[in-house]
Structure 1
Amino acid sequence: MQLQDVSQRFLFEQADVRGELVSLDQSYREILAKHPYPESVKSLLGELLAAAVLLSSTLKFEGLLVLQARSSGPLSTLMVECSSNQEVRGIARYADSLEGEQLAELMPDGILAITIDPDNGQRYQGVVSLQGTTLAEALNGYFESSEQLATRFRLLADGRIARGFMLQALPADRQTDTDERRETWTHLNVLADTLKPEELMALDNQTLLHRLYHQEEVRLFDALPVVFKCSCSAERSGKALVSLGREDALALLEERGGEVTVDCQFCNTRYRYDRQALDTLFEAAEEHAKGLH
């Protein structure tokens, strides 16, 4: 079966539980092609990408979801973004000598920040310790310790494809009895635990759901595409130079031999500015400032 870059929602008709399945193929490989990551970093970055798409599917606004894992260990940063249009990008920062393969070895004493940044609205961030042996366990712990809806993750990636599986409890509707809701949630998770890693990586979504929940009434929604897209631009890099101030920017220009470059850390696109380009940037910024008064 050929995996595609999609996320696909499913819903249990007789229970207040929803789910999401994510497959990342081309988008994942495009992100990895930008940097020569070690295999262990490729896998963790793929898992975090899948998690970001899973979580973004639960949000009902235009904006951005960011997952960032940080530590003082050899793998200092994992950062991924997923927009409401399911456009993803990601990056990792690590030491030259990277030893170990497991999360606890690479990111000891790490933290995971979940940031929700709507285009119109208030920014929210939650932070949790990177507890557990996997990113999925860390995310499970975050939702268990918070007052949010119960949520369960399975994440896998191998440097070629990344897969994610999520179950999430919904507010009481079809089931209102607390004990019944708890029993249903436990039952569906016990079935999910029977999913083998090779099945998650290889089975198409319909087959996977039938394998797990053939005795349940499950509705599978249409798949939505996921793509790699970097949000960097000449305008954004220009604003970074303008923020330096004209004097410092011109000093930097002279120091660099007549050309300043700004590189995107995500996609490695390089933006170049000579004296004429810098003058144009600052003239435009000054005109904009005048218009605000």
Structure 2
Amino acid sequence: MQDTEQDADTQVDVPVFDQIQRFLFDATNVRGEIVALDKAYAEVLDRHSYPQAISRQLGEMLAAAALLTETIKLDGTLTLEVRGNGVVRQLMAESNPGGELRAIARLSDEAVLPTDEASLMELIGQGQIVITLDPRDGKRYQGIVAIDQDNLAGCLESYFSQSEQLPTRLWLMADGHRAGGVMLQQLPNDASNQDPDAWERVTHLAETLKAEELLTLDQQDVLHRLYHEETVRIFDPKALRFGCTCSRERLGAALHSIQAEELRQIVADQGELSTQCHFCHTRYSFSAAEIESIIEDPDAGSPVVH
């Protein structure tokens, strides 16, 4: 579908949540994206029992992953990973061009549950954010930034600043039920930019955005409230949903990296090897014969199950 331009205050019969929309300001060098998540976010949380503070952080992670994927137009998988030495050891969210999202959190073995309002730094402690771009064709790329801000948006803004990419601002919000985000970027200046003050003005207006607005209103209503005095072009929304990339083939390939003796011992003790996807909780079982096939040939890890 080609992009169709719409007025910021035009009502469109589209779902309010689980979508992302691009927009730009006419006669300026500023573009943006707005994302809203409901069911896709809920499906992540329904598979786990996370404290409220972690649920909120995962919502922000999902919104950020969707925004970054749409911004760079990656034909592949984007992984946003937060690693640290605090109560939470890892937060991870993945997104792909098909609009599929998934996320997970891992707590330390002796974790003391955080307060509901705990910040990213309070949860993670000392750590870093790793952004991995894994295209279908081409080389894998990783960017790393230290966790030096209390929130994910601030850390990602530092990443863009350090990597000398386009000036970028992010606003990420989640409440354990819905999640959303806004991303603004300043493009290189050219003759088409007739408003040199636009960047400062539209980012200042975005600072007034309230969580209640972003998490409850239609995306076009949010943009109209922020930018009713600007000329905004809004493009067709793109649907988002929960989706997991686990499969017997991928797990079989992963099992092939384990020592053969260890795999055989598990089968001897349990009669089979059973494992579960951490993201979606789908369980996969491999018989003794299937494990032997995997040991000999990792591509044999996907037998037909009747």
Aligned to 1:215: 229
Output aligned runs, 1:3-22, within 5 Å: 3-22=16-35
Between 29-38 and 211-220, report the one with greater CA deviation: 211-220
Aligned to 1:109: 126
| Correspondent of 2:189 among 172, 175, 181 | 172
Change over 3 Å in CA distance of 1:13–1:239 after alignment to 2: same
2:259 is the counterpart of 1:242 = no
Q: CA deviation at 1:277?
A: 2.2
Distance 1:224 1:37 in 2: 28
| Correspondent of 2:163 among 132, 140, 146 | 146
Alignment TM-score, normalising by the size of structure 1: 0.90
What secondary structure is seen at the aligned counterpart in 2 of 1:8?
strand
Q: CA deviation at 1:102?
A: 1.8
2:114 is the counterpart of 1:99 = yes
Distance 1:4 1:221 in 2: 16
Distance 2:201 2:299 in 1: 62
Spell out structure 1 runs of 4+ moving beyond 4 A: 174-177, 282-288
Query: Which string of whole-angstrom CA distances, capped at 9 and with x for unpartnered residues, describes residues 196-217 of structure 1?
Result: 2211222211111111112211
Distance 2:80 2:260 in 1: 34
Distance 1:55 1:99 in 2: 28
Aligned to 2:271: 258
Query: Which string of whole-angstrom CA distances, capped at 9 and with x for unpartnered residues, describes residues 6-61 of structure 1?
Result: 00110111111110010111010001111110000000000011000001001233
Query: Which string of whole-angstrom CA distances, capped at 9 and with x for unpartnered residues, describes residues 109-138 of structure 1?
Result: 221111111110111111111122211111
| Correspondent of 1:206 among 220, 223, 244 | 220
Query: Which string of whole-angstrom CA distances, capped at 9 and with x for unpartnered residues, describes residues 144-168 of structure 1?
Result: 2220011110011011100111101
What secondary structure is seen at the aligned counterpart in 2 of 1:77?
strand
What secondary structure is seen at the aligned counterpart in 2 of 1:156?
strand
Instruction: Return the letter of the residue paired with 2:114.
Output: E
**Runs (5+) with no aligned partner, structure 1:** 289-293
2:135 is the counterpart of 1:118 = yes
Instruction: Return the letter of the residue paired with 2:39.
Output: Q
Change over 3 Å in CA distance of 1:205–1:272 after alignment to 2: same
* Superposition RMSD in Å: 2.1
Distance 2:265 2:205 in 1: 63
Aligned to 2:247: 233
Distance 1:273 1:263 in 2: 11
What secondary structure is seen at the aligned counterpart in 1 of 2:68?
helix
Alignment TM-score, normalising by the size of structure 2: 0.87
User: Are 2:63 and 2:181, in contact at CA under 8 Å, matched by a contact in 1?
Assistant: yes
User: Are 2:80 and 2:132, in contact at CA under 8 Å, matched by a contact in 1?
Assistant: yes
Distance 2:101 2:51 in 1: 20
Percent identity at matched positions?
Answer: 44
User: Are 1:16 and 1:174, in contact at CA under 8 Å, matched by a contact in 2?
Assistant: no
Aligned to 2:172: 155
What secondary structure is seen at the aligned counterpart in 1 of 2:63?
helix
Distance 1:145 1:41 in 2: 27
Aligned to 1:34: 47
Distance 2:299 2:71 in 1: 41
**Runs (5+) with no aligned partner, structure 2:** 1-13, 302-306
Between 131-140 and 227-236, report the one with greater CA deviation: 131-140
